[in-house]
Amino acid sequence: MKYLPNILFFILLSAGIGFFTFQIKKIIRYVRMGRPTDRSDRPAERWKTMALVALGQGKMVRRPLAGIMHILIYAGFFIINLEILEIILDGLLGTHRLFAPLLGEVYDFLIGSFEFLALGVLVACGVFLVRRYGGRVPRLVRSGDLKGWPSLDATIILFTEIVLMTLFLTMNAADSLLQERGAEHYVRAGAFPVSSFLHSFLQGFGENTLIFLERFCWWAHIIGVLAFLNYLPYSKHFHIILAFPNTYFSNLEPKGKLRTDENVLKEVKLMLDPSAQPEPVESGSLPSFGAKDVTDLTWKQLLDAYSCTECGRCTSECPAHLTGKLLSPRKIIMSVRDRLEELGRLRDKHGPDYKDDKTLLGHYITPEELWACTTCNACVEACPVNIDPLSVIIDLRRSLVMESSAAPAALNMMFTNIENNGAPWQFSPADRALWTTES
Amino acid sequence: MTIKTVAELAAEGKSPEFLFWVGCAGSFDDKAKKVSRALARLLTEAGIEFAILGTEETCTGDPARRAGNEFLFQMMALQNIQVLNQYGIKKIVTACPHCFNTLRNEYPTLGGHYEVYHHSQLLNELLKQGRIRVKPDAFKGKKVTYHDPCYLGRANGEYEAPRSLIRQVFKEIEEMERHGRQALCCGAGGAQMFKESEKGRKEVNVERTEDVLRVAPDIVAVGCPFCKIMIGDGVKHFEKEDKIRVADLAEILQEALDSPSAV
């Protein structure tokens, strides 16, 4: 019976990590439903982009309040994870504060700084709750894009972080009080600059109650961490992991450069070169142009969708959205994820070639949204994790125009003009140099 | 003004240092044609050997591509590349950021490799080299702001050349709150220029012109023919055309020219 806690902990940890691995594999499978695109070039530049944008939070601080508060939570979670390692080892080995004798004063410093970070996380989560529920930040209001689940998701994330940090600090407070009272097993270790303020609430409790409280917080904290880890893949909070690969695989080309559609290029070359031989086409696999569904997007565009935390910085800078049009780049990305999850689950159930009667274009994203875009790149520039909503909009427009011939009439007119007179307006090509002689 | 075409030069066995890619707006739109003439004068002033394609120039395909017609874009691009390569064009200057972006970034994939300059970049270089001289007091007492074109700024990261150019003539630039990376679009890009806007509360160019009005400048400097049209219409919408002038960087520079041959 002596080893029961260790065994219990081992089972919990294995289940937590095992289920998380299972979910990660599922998401990798879904992302691979996308078309290939090569993002393996220029590794040095890629590491640098990741270091600046994800690790360094370079784009977050462009909005100072949200940026600094985010860094508090980010630093808190990142660094407190060092403590998780000790907690896991303690849990497996049945030790208490395993690293204390090894690190000496450094340990005191570390535990002390974790406490300040935990306090920082609490403060920032509080500020974020006020921003979300205060209704003063338009991109965070609980209507529009964020109606329903996305808002609930945000609330769950913030409350979980508050609960985890509270457990962590209460555990430390009980621990340090037990240390002061010389309780068995509770060796003097660590510095508790923040949690010691909780002592006044705990002084009245006896040793057994404090031990129970300390153990309860210890277990609840690590169970909470494992549960939160497994919540990530269902949540927009997944960005804490995917921000890194997503920025690594960023588009490194100038933002103005659009991807050349290779299927179109083959056709165009055939048209321009009468001697060219068409490649034999297998029946049932006619090339398609642009993107109608998530499987027509590249894997990077699908990774974008999983990396989005729905902060709405893109939408808050979109000229179409700012002037009341239907388009919201955030919603475009959210739709890609929703559709991918739907199709992914269906294919898990019915096999990898399964097709339902829905598509991203039409069922999730309407032409009105797509035609409101000015391709200004404000959304791409604003995204703190380098998501590219514009590329999705363009790919869907391509499908609308080239597969469905569904461009607005005015644009069809413009196409005709370009084809016939080499200009988007109806001017004669013979008049092209008249400007030189006018005054 | 007589400007030689590349074909004429080729007949003389010559090839220009720069091709001036005029673009459809620069060729046909009245506001943009003035910019083309200003740029041609400045290039002449600086002693740049340049020529135009004249009737051999066609749309780069940019608006077709942004509107989703990749077929038409590639057809136009491949045809243009054939013409440009046949004349051995190496360097291109254009006053249109859309042409600039397409020629610079999108033609290489299809076999067209050129050194492409937005006119603000080339003119700024010529100012630095002293090949163009300006009277520093040409716009004395006038307040100027600068509207970043999306396809020069965010799309290609060029925020500084136009500003450096403006500072040669104006003491300082009164920036709008949204500028540089965060500049608001004029509303014309992505083929919006050629269609009615989607249903909404207001037009994008009106929203942008409100940014302009908050600064209350005498001149809004622009670097794109479409921005010129859009902001110009916005200023008209607020009936401020007597107070606020929308002018391209080339027009501003031409008016400040310090040269005996200047008008």
Domain boundaries, chain A: 32-38+291-425, 63-248
223-252 in B: which are within 8 Å (CB) of A?
none
Instruction: Identify whether B262 is part of a domain.
Output: no
Range of the domain at B176: 135-255
Q: A186 in helix, strand or coil? A: coil
Q: What is the mean pLDDT of residues B188-205?
A: 95
> What SS3 class is residue A200?
helix
Torsion-angle region of residue B246: left (phi > 0), alpha (psi -120 to 50) or beta? beta
CATH of A32-38+291-425, one of 1.20.1070, 1.10.3470, 3.40.50, 1.10.1060: 1.10.1060
Distance from CA of B121 to the nearest CA of A (A): 17
Asked if residue B232 and residue B153 are part of one domain, the reply reads yes
A113 burial (CB, 10 Å; 0-12 / 13-18 / 19+) is middle
B112 and B11 part of one domain: yes
Taking Cα atoms as reference points, which of B105, B104, B193, B151 lies closest to residue A258?
Answer: B105
**Residue B64 sits at the chain A interface (C-beta within 8 Å):** yes
DSSP category for residue A90: H
Cβ burial, residue B142 (10 Å; 0-12/13-18/19+): middle
pLDDT of residue A35: 94
Question: How large is the angle between the packed helices B225-237 and B204-215, nearest 10 degrees?
Answer: 80
- Is A405 at the interface with chain B, CB within 8 A? no
B199 and A407: CB-CB below 8 Å? Answer: no
pLDDT mean over B16-40: 96
Residues 102 through 141 of chain B touching chain A, CB cutoff 8 Å: 104-106, 109-110
In Å, the largest CA–CA distance within chain B is 57
- Say how far apart CA A74 and CA A106 lie, in whole Å: 22
- The reply to whether B64 and B10 lie within a common domain is yes
Q: Assess if residue B230 is contained within a domain.
A: yes
Q: Which helix (H) or strand (E) holds A176?
A: helix A149-180
Q: Pick the residue from chain B with its C-alpha nearest to A372.
A: B198
State the Cα angle at A45 between A41 and A49, rounded to 5°.
120
3-state secondary structure (DSSP) of residue A437: coil
Residues B189 and B118 in one domain: no
A82-103 burial string, b = 16+ CB within 10 Å, else e? Answer: ebeebbbebbeeeeebbbbeeb
Say if CB B108 and CB B38 are below 8 A apart: no
Q: How far is A147 from chain B (nearest CA, A)?
A: 21
Q: Does any CB of chain B come closer than 8 Å to the CB of residue A106?
A: no
Task: Kindly list the residues from chain A whose CB atom is less than 8 angstroms away from the CB atom of residue B54.
Answer: 432-433
B228 belongs to a structural domain: yes
Structure tokens at A269: 């070359």
Per-residue model confidence (pLDDT) at position B44: 95
Within-domain flag for B61: yes
Chosen for mutation from A375, A380, A399, A400 (greatest number of chain B CBs closer than 10 Å) is A375
- DSSP class of residue B261 equals T
Neighbouring C-beta atoms of residue A267, cutoff 10 Å? 18
Indicate the residue among B106, B126, B146 that finishes a domain.
B126
Report long-range pairs for B4-12 (Cβ below 8 Å, ≥24 apart).
B4/B51, B4/B52, B5/A433, B5/B51, B5/B52, B5/B53, B5/B54, B5/B56, B6/B51, B6/B52, B6/B53, B6/B54, B6/B56, B6/B87, B6/B89, B7/B53, B7/B54, B7/B56, B7/B87, B8/B51, B9/B51, B10/B87
Q: How far apart are CA A77 and CA B250, in angstroms?
A: 53
**A168 φ/ψ sector (left φ>0, alpha ψ -120 to 50, else beta):** alpha
Q: Of B126, B151, B181, which one is at a domain's C-terminal end?
A: B126
Q: What's the pLDDT score for residue A288?
A: 87
The C-alpha torsion from A418 through A421 and A425 to A428, rounded to 10°, is 170
Q: List C-alpha distances in Å: B232 to A383, B78, B172, B187.
A: 31, 34, 22, 12
Residue type, A197: F
Are residues A325 and B197, on separate chains, in Cβ contact within 8 Å? Answer: yes
Q: B82 at the A interface (CB within 8 A)?
A: no
Q: Which residues of A touch B110 (CB under 8 A)?
A: 260, 265
pLDDT in tens, B105-143: 999 999 999 999 999 999 999 999 999 999 988 999 999
Contact assessment for residue A335 and residue A365, using Cβ atoms and an 8 Å cutoff: yes
Q: Which 8-state DSSP code applies to residue B192? A: G
Residue of chain B with shortest Cα separation from A427 = B28
Contact B51, B10 (CB under 8 A): no
Q: Say yes or no: B89 and B19 in one domain.
A: yes
Examine residue B261 and state whether it is found in any structural domain, yes or no: no
CB pairs under 8 A between A and B: 220
Q: Please, what sign has the CA dihedral across residues B82, B88, B91, B94?
A: negative
Beta-carbon separation of B37 and A373 below 8 A: no
From the number of C-beta atoms within 10 Å of its C-beta (0-12, 13-18, 19+), residue A388 rates as buried
CB of B217 within 8 Å of a chain A CB? The answer is no
Q: Identify which of B37, B70, B157 has the shortest CB distance to residue A254.
A: B157
Split into its structural domains, chain B has a count of: 2
Beta-carbon contacts of A299 under 8 Å, excluding residues fewer than 6 positions away, are A31, A32, A33, A34, A35, A36, A37
Asked if A436 reaches chain B (Cβ–Cβ under 8 Å), the answer is yes
Task: Judge: A371–B78 Cβ closer than 8 Å, yes or no.
Answer: no
User: Could you identify the residue written with the tokens 């790919």?
Assistant: A395
Which member of A322, A375, A399 has the closest CB to residue B189? A375
Give yes or no for residue B148 having a pLDDT over 90. yes
Distance from CA of B187 to the nearest CA of A (A): 6
Does residue A115 sit at the B interface (CB-CB below 8 Å)?
no
- From residue A434, alpha-carbon distances to A82, A402, A421, A429 in Å are 71, 35, 15, 10
**How many whole angstroms separate alpha carbon B192 and alpha carbon B181?**
21
Is residue B79 in a domain? yes
Question: Does residue A38 sit at the B interface (CB-CB below 8 Å)?
Answer: no
A326 touches chain B (CB under 8 A): yes
Mean pLDDT of the residues in chain B:
95
What is the model's pLDDT at position A282?
62
Across the beta sheet with B245-248, the strand order is B144-146, B219-222, B245-248
Last residue of a domain, one of B92, B107, B126: B126
B201-215 exposure pattern, b = at least 16 Cβ within 10 A, e = fewer: eebbbbbbbebbbeb
Do B98 and B120 share a structural domain?
yes
Cβ of A380 within 8 Å of Cβ of B22? The answer is no
**Residue A53: its chain B contacts at CB < 8 A?**
none
Instruction: Kindly state whether residues B99 and B143 are assigned to the same domain.
Output: no
ipTM for the whole complex: 0.95
The answer for B 141-170 residues in CB contact with A (under 8 A) is 150-151, 154-157
Q: Would you give per-residue pLDDT tens digits along chain A (439 residues)?
A: 678 888 999 999 999 999 999 999 999 999 999 999 999 999 999 999 999 999 999 999 999 999 999 999 998 887 887 788 888 998 898 888 888 888 888 888 989 999 999 999 999 999 999 999 988 888 998 888 999 999 999 999 999 999 999 999 999 999 999 998 888 888 888 889 999 898 889 888 888 899 999 999 999 999 999 999 999 999 999 999 999 999 999 999 999 999 999 899 988 888 887 777 766 666 566 788 999 999 999 999 999 999 999 999 999 999 999 999 999 999 999 999 999 999 999 999 999 889 999 999 999 999 999 999 999 999 999 999 999 999 999 999 999 999 999 999 999 999 999 999 999 999 999 999 999 998 7
Interface check for B199 against chain A (CB to CB < 8 A): the answer is yes
Calculate how close chain A gets to B166, using CA atoms only, in Å: 23
**Contact between chains at B71 and A400 (C-beta distance less than 8 A):** no
A351: left (phi over 0), alpha (psi -120 to 50) or beta: left
B260 domain-assigned = no
Identify the DSSP state of B150.
T
pLDDT for position B263: 47
pLDDT at residue B262 greater than cutoff 80: no
Are B65 and B100 in a shared domain? yes
Instruction: Say which of B67, B154, B188 has its CB closest to residue A378.
Output: B154
